[in-house]
Amino acid sequence: MMSAGKVLVLHGPNLNLLGTRQPEIYGYETLEDINNGLYEKAAVNGWDIECRQSNHEGELIDAIHAARQDGTVAIIINPAAYTHTSVAILDALNTFEGKVIEVHLSNVHKRESFRHHSYVSLRADGVIAGLGSQGYHAALDALIKTAE
């Protein structure tokens, strides 16, 4: 099957600890569980997908820069705490011409007020919050459907 497109999934800081990190908020699935589900969905639909996690702002920015040049058509990003602090990640996403979907496992609007503002939302084409790991699947489904 020909690839329908390439998607980069970027997970920000502390998301490597999923499954054991405040599971009452973020769920019991590990990051590997989530990524495996996304790899499977992409494969079934003929899409290429790359899932990356970093605890470092600059590494997330470098991954966004690489996506500008390797045929990536969309970025699904959970910037984690950098959502609320990082003008640099917003600036990097503003240099990317494809679709950007922002995902949060928890409903950030139901939580502390510092989580209510997102720099990344100024660029995102879509935002999903509060659906747990299903949010990543909803994002990928939307990209696949939109491209059909």
User: Is residue 89 near ligand DQA by the rule CB under 6 A?
Assistant: no
User: Is residue 104 near ligand DQA by the rule CB under 6 A?
Assistant: yes
Q: How far is CA 146 from the centre of its chain?
A: 17
CB of 20 to ligand DQA, least distance (A): 14
User: Is residue 72 near ligand DQA by the rule CB under 6 A?
Assistant: no
Residue 116: in which H helix or E strand, if any? none
The answer on whether 141 is annotated among ligand-binding residues is no
Q: Which residue is nearest to ligand DQA (CB)?
A: 80
User: Is residue 53 near ligand DQA by the rule CB under 6 A?
Assistant: no
User: Is residue 14 near ligand DQA by the rule CB under 6 A?
Assistant: yes
- Can you tell me the distance from the alpha carbon of 79 to that of 25, in angstroms, rounded to the nearest whole number? 16
Residue 109 bears catalytic tag: no
- Can you tell me the distance from the alpha carbon of 52 to that of 108, in angstroms, rounded to the nearest whole number? 22
Nearer to ligand DQA, 10 or 67 (CB): 10
Q: DSSP letters of 26-67? A: H-S--HHHHHHHHHHHHHHTT-EEEEEE-S-HHHHHHHHHHH
Residue 65 bears catalytic tag: no
